[in-house]
Amino acid sequence: SQQGEEDPQALSIQEGENATMNCSYKTSINNLQWYRQNSGRGLVHLILIRSNEREKHSGRLRVTLDTSKKSSSLLITASRAADTASYFCATRNTGANSKLTFGKGITLSVRP
Amino acid sequence: ETGVTQSPTHLIKTRGQQVTLRCSSQSGHNTVSWYQQALGQGPQFIFQYYREEENGRGNFPPRFSGLQFPNYSSELNVNALELDDSALYLCASSLAVGGAQETQYFGPGTRLLVL
């Protein structure tokens, strides 16, 4: 079952614009992570935010977490054509033997 | 490059056959997780191994089994293949310390086609 639900499902923007992607989840989490995947290949870890954090930055990436709303957003600023990929949020649940549960992903297209 | 390798990259099998997929973890990592990703979907957790023992499993039938070796490399075995097993199989390695596990590093995946 998918815990995280991303929206929108697809996003098309012009190079230079900002891209905002949202993720909602259902259960208590230890942390939330965002991954990128190019053309059905392996996933690349982008950023991790813990349940006690509200905002985190990494280069052009900014992620926020609102545990009261069980939601997160990923902002990519000044997008580039190379940012074109699928983006997934994944939540790690609390408790023993925790696992990472992925959403269905968002397809981002950045037009040159 | 994450340092996680998988073999083979592509594989074609027929229904009913058995398949073994292999994963070599990133150096220093003691945990490996396997995921199945169907076309257009997010990865689904199959199971996880920590220090050669399974310590978590998703909603997959027993015909999906695995092994982790002393060098922390891993295998995923699928028996009695079904058409719906066609997918990209991803392994991910991580370092678990004191029960806490964070960033997972993914391999490039093995694309399995069952005919």
Write the pLDDT tens digit of every residue in B72-114.
899 999 999 999 999 999 999 988 776 566 688 999 999 999 9
Is A42–B111 a contact, with Cβ atoms under 8 angstroms apart?
A: no
Radius of gyration of chain B (CA): 13
> pLDDT tens digits, residue range A20-77?
999 999 988 989 999 999 987 889 999 999 999 999 999 999 999 999 999 999 999 9
d(CA B107, CA A112): 29
Return the bridge partners of A39, or none: none
Residue B51 has what pLDDT?
A: 85
Residues of chain A contacting residue B92, judged by C-beta atoms under 8 Å apart: 43
Question: Do the Cβ atoms of B29 and B95 come closer than 8 Å?
Answer: yes
Say which amino acid occupies B4. Answer: V
Give percent of chain B with pLDDT exceeding 90: 74
Q: Is the pLDDT of residue A93 over 60?
A: yes
Tokens of A67: 């545990």
- Cβ-defined contact of A33 to B103 (cutoff 8 Å): yes
Confidence of residue B26 (pLDDT cuts 50, 70, 90): confident
Q: Which of A95-104, B61-70, B84-93 has the lowest mean pLDDT?
A: A95-104
Q: Which of A10, A13, A7 is CA-nearest to residue A80?
A: A13
Identify the burial level of A54 via C-beta atoms within 10 angstroms of its C-beta, where 0-12 means exposed, 13-18 middle and 19 or more buried: exposed
Structure tokens at B54: 């399974």
Q: Are A104 and A5 in contact (CB under 8 A)?
A: yes
Task: Identify the closest residue of chain B to A5 by CA–CA distance.
Answer: B42
Per-residue pLDDT, B101? 62
Q: Distance (Å, rounded) from C-alpha B36 to C-alpha B46?
A: 7
Question: What is the spatial distance between Cα A60 and Cα A39, in angstroms, rounded to a whole number?
Answer: 22
